[in-house]
Amino acid sequence: MPAPDHPFFANHQEVWSRIEQTALDRGLSEQEAMDVAFHMLDWHKDLTELVSFMQNPGSLADKDLEDMLTQFLIHAPNHIAAAAKLYTGNGVRDIFDVGACDD
């Protein structure tokens, strides 16, 4: 399936296709493979912003850093957890015992 439009990077179709094909090769269904690709791509903007900050820690004002961290920490982990479960069959556990899996 073609990747949905993704404005954050030019080669999104190639990335989507590679992830999807790898999941298919692993034995996942077409729907599961598409879901893995979606979950691995949807938070790319959050990752890009985090990496940009890490490369230049002075680049964000405190409020902008707070907003970026909040967005990343709310958005990315859920996608990563979903992709991990679909791709590996392993769910996410609270290995640090901080209530991370609580609502």
The 10s digit of each residue's pLDDT in 74-99 is: 999 999 999 999 999 999 999 999 99
Q: Which string of DSSP letters, residue by residue, matches 18-70? A: HHHHHHHHTT--HHHHHHHHHHHHTTHHHHHHHHHHHH-GGGS-HHHHHHHHH
What are the pLDDT digits (tens) for 5-51?
655 677 889 999 999 999 999 999 999 999 999 999 999 999 999 99
102 Cβ contact list (under 8 Å, min separation 6): 94
pTM over 0.95: no
Residue 32 CB burial class (10 angstroms; 0-12, 13-18, ≥19): middle
